[in-house]
Amino acid sequence: MKKLSNILLATLMAASLVACGGAANAANDANASQQQAATTEQTTTTTEAAPAQTTSGGGIGVKTPKKDPYSDPLKIAWIPSNATEANGTAWGKGIQQELAYWPNVQFDIYDGESDADKQNTVLSDLIAQGYDGIIIQAINSAVLAPTVTEAEKAGIPVVCINLDVDVPHAGLVAMTDVEAGYAIGERIAEALNGEGNVVVITAKPGASRGERLQEGFEKSLAEHPGIKMLDAQTAEWNMEKAQVVMNDYLTQYGDEIDAVFAHNDQMAEGAGMAVQNAGKELIIWGANGETKALEYIEQGIITGTVYTNCYNQGATAARVLLMNIGSTVDTSTLTKTPVIKMPPMTVDASNVDQITADMRW
Amino acid sequence: MSENKKSFDIKKLFGNTRIIVLLVMMAFFTIMRPRFFTYGNFVNIMYAVTLIAIMICGAMFAVLLGGIDRTVSGNAALSGAIMCVLISQKFNYSNGGAIIAILIALGGGLLSGLFHGLIMSRFKIPAFLLTLSTNEVLYGIVQIITGNQLINNLNCELTNYIGSTRWLGIPVPVYVLLLCFIIGYIILNHTVYGRQIYSVGGNREASELSGIPTRRVIIIAYMMSGLMGALSGIMLSCQNQQASASQAKNYENNVLAAIVVGGVSSKGGSGTLQGAMLGALLIGVMENGLRLMGIPSIYHDLAKGIIIIFVLALDMMAIARRSGLARGIFSGRKKEKKEAVASE
């Protein structure tokens, strides 16, 4: 078997050399040349490629799975951006519940402490320790990219949750963001009959999820010229800061405000509290769908949110990872990261009861 | 100290650079946005600085001793977690249970303060290093207590009342802040302990030789800090109806910034609580004003840093002028030149 894989590798190398023309030095680095070859060729699919499909001209590389993910001892790690945040915890729980079925799998959580460099260090350590697979919520898509590539080259598939890296790797399991922002924009426009003013409470500057939610939201606003965005200020994902920001909005714009869009539920909750304390009623939307937001929707403090089942999302990431560990596709040769999008659910008072206790996180 | 305060002096009041900076800033924001200068907005500013300011009322004691207490945020997270876990999992959201939970949470802060006080008074560990690491320990404990979950506390009447009621249009936490300030002010200015703390902060060995129980002074100071940190955390959890394992994280930086902007010497022994409050207010007013003007958030940190440096530079100038030392470009160089010309 080993011999066979060596032969395959050699064929692939040769093929890639041909494909790359004069890249003579590529012979020094089989992996690099594989990647170069891959980028010059056709796009890939997410389905497993049988060894026989390694035709000349590059494409997806093959590997011999080192382990059977459902029987051999495995070490899998989860690196959330922050283990103490609601979704980080929920994803972790989802992964854990999924992996708990397989007694051969050892599952560890490493907190990224909201620091991309910290995540990078952890990731390098895990490569050195010979983990079999890694699930990560990458705080910074650029900073973590080289290390993810390193892991993939070492034969460790990396699956991202929500926050992706800039290089191709085994998979991404994401909530919808542009779509969610757009959906919220549409709901607000509908509630206001296309006329009114909205303020936005934004994510931490530079957070990709915030930017993408905003992108979708603004796309919707562009279709409703009667709706004006008065202001957008950050509350750094934080409830108490959102309350302060909302107070200041109310001071500055007073009755002009008709609706509020916050980039996560915590901030929507803070805005809801501020609006309630000011004795007003506004349309307030958040995103994510954490437990307290759902209860606030029930209590009428906020209007709605876009809910994603984080347990399910974590479990999905775990399944994708196990599949990749056992597959013969060499994910380090992919040219595009396969993406799974979690179906969102737009929740307001009319359907909040559909989210049962076991779905709340 | 206290004698100076009794003779209220307008000239002296305006001699305080911070008040001038604050007034200039307020005038500027009022011109730019007339709505800045309204009762409601001042209440908002007070509310925005409340959590930080309550922490300052405690952390101030450690800074006056020449130390620093970075655990205020850890204590806040710990007390919030203890309170919410007890209320939601042990006391079933009852009001009586909430009172017990709050007391236990405050006790947690006191214990943490006692621990730091004991170590700080016994060993010569730099306070910065000790509290930097113990703050991590505290957050670790919080993670264990909460199991890294958000602990929701939506159904407790008492904590909801504290978190979201207004008396005369002013939120309850602001009254708690006023109470803390008055207590801190009285302790620092009108008690023997207050004088001892300035003395120990100024010169520990001399104080010890003169018979001041320095160890006790230090232990009580850190306990005050722990208590106020815990109180701030309880207010935060009441406002948020929730405890999270990363609650109040990094608040200690704002607390220390406000204390330093407030003119409290980081070497210990000098500075006033009202000065530190003014520092917090200065930062609060600036953030509020920038938001009212609709300036994008990415510039706020920049503006905050510049204001802090500006106030500190004004301070240094004033000190240099008072002490007669000619240093830097502002103070005395002209005089030096004149003198040099004269001597020629």
Summarised one tens digit per residue, pLDDT across range A23-55 is: 334 334 444 444 444 443 433 334 444 443 443
Residue A197's H or E segment, with its range, is: strand A196-202
Query: Which residues in chain B have Cβ-Cβ distances shorter than 8 Å to A110?
Result: none
pLDDT number for residue B52: 94
Task: Provide the shortest C-alpha distance from residue A43 to chain B (in Å).
Answer: 39
pLDDT confidence bin for A247, thresholds 50/70/90: very high
Among A45-59, B292-306, B317-331, top mean pLDDT goes to: B292-306
Task: Tell me the shortest Cα–Cα distance from A190 to chain B, in angstroms.
Answer: 27
Contact: B152, A234; criterion CB under 8 Å = no
Q: What is the pLDDT of residue A6?
A: 57
CB B164 to CB A273 under 8 A? yes
CA distance A75 to chain B (A): 22
Q: What average pLDDT does range B245-249 have in this prediction?
A: 88
Contact B151, B236 (CB under 8 A): no
pLDDT value of position A58: 55
Confidence at residue A324, expressed as pLDDT on a 0 to 100 scale:
93
CA distance B148 to chain A (A): 5
Residue given tokens 């100076």 in the structure block: B4
Measured between beta carbons, the chain B residues lying within 8 angstroms of A85 are 244, 246
Mean pLDDT, range B243-258, rounded to an integer: 89
CB-nearest to B294 from A85, A86, A231 is A231
A324 and B CB contact within 8 Å: no
- Report the first-to-last Cα separation within chain B, whole angstroms: 44
Q: What is the pLDDT of residue B74?
A: 95
Q: Which of A49-53, A162-166, B75-79, B219-223 has the lowest mean pLDDT?
A: A49-53
List the single residue in A with minimal CA-CA distance to B288.
Answer: A248
- Give yes or no for residue B342 having a pLDDT over 70: no
Q: Which two tokens stand for residue A242?
A: 């959102």
Cβ distance of B244 and A231 shorter than 8 Å: no
Question: Percent of chain A, pLDDT > 90?
Answer: 58
Mutate to test the interface with B, among A237, A249, A251, A267 (most CBs of B within 10 A): A251
- Contact with chain B for residue A292, Cβ under 8 A: yes
State residue B197's pLDDT score: 93
Least confident window among A317-326, B121-130, B331-340 = B331-340
Which CATH number applies to B39-295: 1.20.1630, 2.40.160, 1.10.3470, 3.40.50?
1.10.3470
Q: Mind giving me the DSSP string for A240-298?
A: HHHHHHHHHHHHHHGGG--EEEESSHHHHHHHHHHHHHTT---EEE-SB--HHHHHHHH
Specify the pLDDT at position B59. 93
Separation between Cα atoms, residue B239 and residue B235, nearest integer Å:
6
Note whether A277 contacts B: Cβ–Cβ < 8 A: yes
B17-40 mean pLDDT: 89
Distance CA A263, CA A261 (A): 7
| A251 in B contact zone (CB under 8 Å) | yes
Tokens of A20: 């790359």
How far away is chain A from the Cα of B99, in angstroms, using its nearest Cα?
A: 23
How many other C-beta atoms are found inside a 10 Å radius of the C-beta of residue B40? 13
* A71 shares contact with chain B (CB less than 8 Å): no
CB contact under 8 A, A244 and B298: no
Mutate to test the interface with A, among B44, B52, B236, B290 (most CBs of A within 10 A): B44
Q: Quick one: pLDDT band at residue A20, thresholds 50, 70, 90?
A: very low
Across chain B, what does the average pLDDT equal? 86
Whether residue B2 is predicted with pLDDT greater than 80 in this model: the reply is no
Interchain proximity A292–B149, CB inside 8 Å:
no
Task: Taking each helix axis as running N to C, give the angle between helix B39-64 and helix B72-85, from 0 to 180 degrees, rounded to the nearest 10.
Answer: 110
Per residue in A286-318, pLDDT tens?
998 889 999 999 999 999 999 989 999 999 999
Element (H, E) at A326: helix A310-326
- Determine the distance in angstroms separating the CA of B245 from the nearest CA of chain A, rounded to an integer: 5
Assess A56–B contact: CB distance below 8 Å, yes or no.
Answer: no
Per the CB < 8 Å rule, is A248 touching B288?
yes
B122 by Cβ neighbours in 10 Å (0-12 / 13-18 / 19+) ranks as exposed
Beta strand ranges found along chain A (DSSP E): 61-62, 74-79, 105-109, 133-136, 158-161, 171-174, 196-202, 227-234, 259-262, 283-285, 304-307, 329-330, 339-341, 345-348
CA distance to partner chain A, nearest, from residue B150 (Å): 6
Dihedral through CA B283, CA A256, CA A288, CA A296, nearest 10?
90
What is the model's pLDDT at position A232?
A: 93
Interval A258-284: pLDDT, tens: 999 999 999 999 999 999 988 899 999
A108: its two tokens? 């560890």
CB contact under 8 A, B44 and A244: yes
Cα–Cα–Cα angle for A39, A44, A48, rounded to 5 degrees = 130
Confidence of residue A66 (pLDDT cuts 50, 70, 90): confident
Q: Which chain A residue is nearest to residue B164, measuring alpha carbons? A: A277
For residue B20, the Cα-to-chain-centroid distance in whole angstroms is: 21
The domain locations on chain B are: 39-295
Strand partners, A174: A341
Interface A–B counts its CB contacts (< 8 A) at 83
Q: What is the pLDDT of residue A57?
A: 43
Q: Which of A283, A277, A272, A260 is nearest to A201 (CA)?
A: A260
| pLDDT tens per residue across span B158-188 | 999 999 888 988 999 999 999 999 999 999 9
* Residues A246 and A269 sit within 8 Å (Cβ to Cβ): no
Q: How far is CA A18 from CA A57, A70, A297, A329, in A?
A: 7, 38, 61, 22
Contact between B51 and B235 (Cβ < 8 Å)? yes
- CB atoms B291 and A248 under 8 Å: yes
**Cα(B242)–Cα(A238) distance, integer angstroms:** 12
Rounding to the nearest 10 degrees, give the CA dihedral for residues B118, B120, B122, B124.
160
Question: A236 to chain B: nearest residue by CA?
Answer: B297
CB B292 to CB A248 under 8 A? yes
Q: Collect all residues from B whose CB is shorter than 8 A from any CB in A.
A: 33, 35-36, 38, 40-41, 44, 47-48, 51, 143, 146, 148-150, 152, 154, 164, 166, 171, 236, 239-242, 244-246, 288, 291-292, 294, 296-298
Output phi, psi for A88, to 5 deg.
-55, -45
Ramachandran bin of B35, using left for φ above 0, alpha for ψ from -120 to 50, beta for the remaining angles: alpha
pLDDT of res. B300: 86
All domains of chain A, ordered by start, with CATH? 6-176+309-359 (3.40.50.2300), 178-307 (3.40.50.2300)
Distance from CA of A304 to the nearest CA of B (A): 18
Q: What is the ipTM of this complex?
A: 0.81
Ranking A113-117, A182-186, B97-101, B321-325 by mean pLDDT, the lowest is B321-325
| B261: three-class secondary structure by DSSP | helix
Contact A252 B44 (CB under 8 A): no
Q: Are A181 and A286 in contact (CB under 8 A)?
A: no
CB B55 within 8 A of CB B180: no
Question: Considering only CA atoms, which of B190, B341, B168, B333 is closest in space to residue B272?
Answer: B190
